[in-house]
Structure 1
């Protein structure tokens, strides 16, 4: 039996998604920003603001006791207010966060796969995300079929087709 299970995200998961947005933002232990600093940044908080709005979808990983340990979710952004990994209107941009003690145990991969299934079931043909090049998660994204389509100074925008 797996030490964790995956369930769909619901509107009541908003606070946990904020926690996972903090985890995602603070992936580098040398450059940790306080929760309030991350959530007050409108370029970051837009990934959870008003969760769950039409078109939002996601998955939550829970441990054997039902405690949430990770999340991955997709959100659409308009061209005039793009996210970091924006590629086109109608292409959901993903955010992935996993509690540090649960990393490298398959949680992130399971969440990415669940969200890809959700996206396909909702009629989306592609998913996008942004990742800093030094982030070890980039290897996970590549192994899940994401390819770099644009590069900034320190980060890459990656896209995956959904079948």
Structure 2
């Protein structure tokens, strides 16, 4: 892993930046075969668009990584019935970092700050869904997420935030 990028700021997303989530959702889609390039319109599918559609509702929360005025990544949670749904009290987490900026510790910073913020909000746990073949699976395990429910290709993972 290279050093964390200099002058990187992790902050809450501004409403004028919500459109950045379109790119982040697209970047978050994992395809094992690197020769396959998905069309950008794929995020319009109902099972995907719900991760960003009408973002900014009461319980939506997003952090972005910004450097020199450019957004490089985002991490957000929503209470939706998505791929990582556990229950109505557990928000589902999504995260992506732009190509060319991965492997620099941005994801780690985003996740660390998000976990702290979710604890501050008194949430008990957070969930996500990740493909078994995705390098992110090991990343999330390293950061305290555990397998909750596995299917043939993907795994729902959870992280306890507050001891009950």
Distance 2:79 2:35 in 1: 31
| Pairwise CA RMSD | 1.5
Report the CA distance between 1:31 and its aligned residue: 3.1
CA displacement 1:61-119 (0-9 Å, x = unmatched):
012x1200000000002xxxx20000111101001011011111101111111111121
Pairing 1:34–2:39 present: yes
Distance 1:7 1:84 in 2: 26
Pairing 1:162–2:150 present: no
**TM-score (norm. length: structure 1):** 0.91
Residue equivalent to 2:17: 13
Report the CA distance between 1:18 and its aligned residue: 1.0
Query: What secondary structure is seen at the aligned counterpart in 1 of 2:18?
Result: helix
Residue equivalent to 1:69: 72
Report the CA distance between 1:42 and its aligned residue: 0.8
Spell out structure 1 runs of 4+ moving beyond 4 A.
Answer: none
Structure 1 contact 11–52 (Cα < 8 Å) conserved: yes
Bigger helix share: 1
**Number of residue equivalences:** 157
Residue equivalent to 2:54: 50
**TM-score (norm. length: structure 2):** 0.90
Unaligned runs of 5+ in 2: none
